[in-house]
Amino acid sequence: MSYLEIRHLHTHFTKHAGTVFSPRTEVIRAVDDVTLSIEKGEILGLVGESGCGKSTLSRTIMQLIPATSGEVVLAGESLTRLSHHEVRMRRLDFQMIFQDPYASLNPRMTIFSTLEEAMKQRHPNLAKAELYDKIIALMETVGLDPAVMKKYPHEFSGGQRQRIAIARALAPEPKLIIADEPVSALDVSIQSQILNLLRKLRDDFQLTMIFISHDLGVVRYIADNIAVMYQGKIVEYGEAEQLFHHPQHEYTKRLLNSIPKLPASA
């Protein structure tokens, strides 16, 4: 059994449409029969245009949105069959990194308090001195100077805030990280730093990761395997380089053609 298995997952929403005199409902199939297997230590790239269902899929895996049907199995345990309380306890093992780190960080909490709160989820009885040392080590791990731990999120750049968000995701010592468009709001030079950091963290902590992006070029750089999502479905899946050089689905080919290319030199 793979470390994470997504089995025939559906996440549908009902939308009220029509008029007062002629009401009707529409079913939006945001995730439509998705099946995927992810091995321990693998980085799966999930790619597709905005609105294709990537973020809904990630939030369904996280159990933030209930599945309409299907199953999410992590390390042999079905998350979709757990109670709300059991999911909260189990969520220590799977954490999420969001696209906008500023929106996901509490502006009233210092970096130390943010990491302390997350770390205490796993180690509620940790001694103060040991907690302090662990937070220093965690900040250094993600490339932050521990001297800034008493500062607030608004005092940092976008790239620094994303490092803080990554540190917070790592604080409960998860085994699975879902990164939802974590570099799309960053400058290109900062993007490469964050991508390299995520790859290093995967190797250092034996993490399993789902990396979500609309940019196939970015996904190619970081992922072992790539799943292409279109209109709620996985339309193509394969090893990253193989898919990049030999795409089969027309939608994958369009994504590849949309990657900016440098003009040929004279």
Domain locations in the chain as residue ranges: 4-8+40-106+172-257
Topology (CATH) of 4-8+40-106+172-257? Rossmann fold (3.40.50)
Answer whether residue 57 shows pLDDT above 60. Answer: yes
| pTM of this structure | 0.91
Please report the pLDDT score of residue 261 as a whole number.
66
pLDDT in tens, 85-130: 899 889 999 999 988 888 889 999 999 999 999 999 999 999 999 9
Tokens at residue 125, please?
């009885």
Q: Which tens digit of pLDDT belongs to each residue from 212-233?
A: 999 888 999 999 999 999 999 9
Cα atoms in the Cβ-side hemisphere of radius 13 Å centred on 168? 26
Q: How many residues does the chain have?
A: 266
Residue 104 pLDDT: 84
Q: Which residues fall within 8 angstroms of residue 120, CB to CB, at 6 or more apart?
A: 126, 131
CA dihedral (211, 216, 219, 223) positive or negative: positive
Residue 266 has a pLDDT of 42
Whole-angstrom Cα distance, residue 74 to residue 153? 32
